[in-house]
Structure 1
Amino acid sequence: MSDNLKKLSDQGVSIWLDDISRERLRTGNLEKLVKEKHVVGVTSNPTIFAKALSKGSAYDEQVKDLVLRGVNVDEASRAITTYDIRWGCDVLRPVYDRTDGLDGRVSIEVDPRLARKTGETIAEARALWWLVDRPNLFIKIPATEPGLPAITAALAEGISVNVTLIFSLERYGKVIDAFFEGLEKARENGHDLSKIASVASFFVSRVDTEIDKRLDKIGTDEAKALRSQAGVANARLAYALYENKFGTDRWKALKDAGARPQRPLWASTGVKDPDLPDTLYVDQLVAPGTVNTMPEATLEAAADHSDVVGDTVTGNYDDARAHMEALKTAGVDYDDVVKVLEDEGVDKFEVSWNELLATISGELDDKQGAGA
């Protein structure tokens, strides 16, 4: 066992892996990470699946079957991705049972081409929930404005949701409100609230990447001194908002009805700038009741040399606010930053999804040509 990761887990941080592939499942690697690296959950996204499909032969047999069945590329993508997610859910099921449903969760994302279409997102969330058919599944729905009512609708039907692509504090507040409304409707619909779970994925490193680019353009010494701190400051203020919202009477009424809180999840925690410590977004975002979903490289780095010294979030709200104010004074437009990041996030996942479809289409054509 890794002492560093155990320390992190003991601080109330759930360690999730931001990766899944057929090869990782087939070789038992995921099960090994659960046993040896305190991994208690898995997240996926279109980029991860596009990468997995482009390597090796792990998907060949399933692709052959899909060719023989004559399915189109969209249905093939659902069949392939849900197969991996279902398998991942089964690997993590003992964790789900041991933690009474807190962890042991595996996330699959709604087709990102639907990110700005409410009705279609709801329909796809239902379809994925039915296809995977595991209680420890999370359906990932982006926190776009059209995504908010879809989040509420999915929760109202008893579907557990991982809200993704959150960058701004204002949007995060709306995400929590959508969560509350969804649970209130679920209660009205007769669902057992204790069986519905949710996390809110607040992205970290991309905030630094965008803001540092703007600080470099400003070019002053004062601006340069502010580099690579906004991602952590923004996330810390998100946790402050979480504490505030989940201290209200509205939440208390839901909690009394059996509801679980929507946990903050730190996403995009691999550093983008090689000059930064590779465990920056692990060490600086330790807080109880949170999730940190890490790429494998970050997980291994944290296991090797993470410096876990206790809660590094709740005592730093004033400093975080001061930093964000200093960015404003320097000329960084926060509202524009988060808008750009959301737009880019949706676009990047859509590009990855199209790459995934192109890869699957190519595989189907190859197997068709070879007579499957």
Structure 2
Amino acid sequence: MSGGVDSAVAAARMLDAGHEVVGVHLALAQSAATLRESARGCCTIEDAGDARRVADRLGIPFYVWDMAERFREDVVEDFVSEYAAGRTPNPCLRCNEKIKFAALLDKALALGFDAVATGHYAQVVEVTDPAVPGGLRRELRRAVDPAKDQSYVLGVLDADQLARSFFPLGDSTKPQIREEAAARGFSVAKKPDSHDICFIADGDTRGWLAGRLGERPGPIVDVDGTVLGEHGGAHGYTVGQRRGLGLKVPAADGSPRYVVSTDTRTNTVVVGPEELLGVDVIEGDHLRWCGPVPVGEQRVGAQVRAHGQEIPATALVEGGDGIPGRVRVHLDERVRGVAPGQSVVLYAGTRVVGSATIAATGSRGAAVD
């Protein structure tokens, strides 16, 4: 229970469904603020208090579990090291993989609980599958509300984690959840949503990274190597970025420039025209499957951002027999601003097939970088 409206209603619905429910708030900040400084922040003392008041109203036990150190190691430090290596990570996927459905679930199981329920907008559906023990398999599917669907950030869950997960909000829209919270008398019914990235409350990712990695001035160059300006550290830029470049030399045709690549080894940021951003081939590693592993070439939908468009594609899983797995995804159309470190989540209709961390991108007929 984060202290927000979604997890409050999720707890209430699980209770209504006849489950024995215990509320748990995760203390993820090592120095939690007393009050929220913005809608981006979370895990404050205020949030813990809001969660406790909901639990009291529901009449369920409530605990605060300190996972700040684990969150720091598995999410925050991973985020820093990925940017330092020139990649663009998604900390929400890492938090779901390492904290909410690993550390939290492991502790819950050790204490005798059966499953974890959260306020994510997604659906779990049981389907008949004679190949699995018991003949039933749980599938992760998109939420009914496309505007709030969070199946993308849950694409890192494997079949075992999915078997012990509940998402009771997946059949509702956000306005319906707020109306239900108000009807139940929850004080959080109108509380603003928190936004990514939760541990960077002011939203200044580049400034936050500079505080961790330091200022490292280096050149901003065009694709021919001509120096156009200077930056404070290549780790503060990501593919597709347009704003904040501070270029003093305009393009010959006056068109805007975008970051097309970064190299943290040489501390160089390369910019170019918009047409250089499009890719239609993605290679991914760190494969995570929500169910059966795809065999051979499979037609899928591919999504590379939490609220991005799903693109028709063909995926082929490579590796196995001791060889680290990779997936190669051929998109039916080019997509802009795809960077290594981001995640690609694969769908079969509304079902989440699995996910991979993007290792390289390119175009058909050209080398993949």
TM-score of the pair, normalised by structure 1: 0.24
Task: Give the strand-richer structure, 1 or 2.
Answer: 2
Higher relative contact order (CA 8 A, sep 6+): 1
